[in-house]
Amino acid sequence: MTADPLALGDDALIAAQRLAMWCARAPELEEDVALANIALDQLGAARLFLSLVGDEDELAYLRTDRDFRNVLLVELVDRDFAVLIAKLLFLSAFQRLNYASLAAGPDRRVAEIAAKAVKESAYHLDHATQWTLRLGDGTDLSHQRMQAAVDEVWPYTHELFEDATELREPWLSTVDDVLAGATLVRPADGWRPTGGRRGRHTEALSYLLAELQVVHRAHPGARW
């Protein structure tokens, strides 16, 4: 299992920022609200995990991309709604398993946060599952775009398990069931991009952090 609070916090923080970017862009009004709520769940988990490491504001707003330890998956640009859903499906399936393991682990502080977060991640997984089924087993166009999104995102899922190899098989079982129900094909394993846990990121993270951090950096020390 992945137990580093900084990595856990960074995964959740960057996922929250990406999800928040979809406010007023989702295909229907109810989805705007749903994605905002999922983003808030991720942000809440990020704050709790980062507070175990240091000052949460400094960690969120004053580090450079090389200091972040999130997996590459969460920072990828969502070129369309299908990519967003594919990312959410794969991430939430992992987080649910990882948080469940951490909730039963020896670190009491991490376990308490994980016990709350696992309930939220179960909802996130259900939400992503319903959309994957709807798009994958929908029209020819929605099926095509959902399959393309799964193919695009799949290589980045391997990084999730570099420190959690024992979660790979149960994760695959969950994901395979969803893909099969959505008439989607699991991509073949091949290229496996990595580096996020060691601070080597795509250029997408730099742009994301510029937006996330601009107000704090422009007004250092400000209180609202």
Over residues 133-153, the pLDDT tens digits come to: 999 999 999 999 999 999 999
Domain of residue 18, CATH code: 1.20.1260.10
Number of neighbouring beta carbons within 10 Å of residue 90? 24
Residue 224 domain-assigned (yes or no): no
| b (16+ CB within 10 A) / e for 152-173 | bbbbbbbbbbeebeebeeebee
- At residue 41, the pLDDT reads 98
pTM comes to 0.96
**Which of 33, 159, 28, 29 minimizes the C-alpha distance to 87?**
159
pLDDT at residue 224 in the model: 67
Rounded Cα gap, residues 177 and 50, in angstroms: 33
Quick one: pLDDT at residue 223? 73
Residue 82 lies in a domain: yes
The burial class, CB within 10 Å (0-12 / 13-18 / 19+), for 142 is middle
Does residue 27 belong to any structural domain of this protein? yes
Residue 223 domain-assigned (yes or no) = no
Q: What is the pLDDT of residue 126?
A: 98
Nearest to 86 by CA among 173, 13, 185, 14: 185
**Residue with token string 């989702």:** 26
The domain tally of the chain equals: 1
**What sign does the CA torsion over 5, 167, 117, 30 have?**
positive
Amino acid identity for residue 36 in this structure: A
Query: So what's the pLDDT on residue 141?
Result: 98
Are the C-beta atoms of 73 and 160 separated by less than 8 Å?
Answer: yes
Residues of the chain with confidence (pLDDT) below 70: 224
Domain range for residue 30? 5-189+198-218
CA angle 8, 113, 66 (to 5 degrees): 20
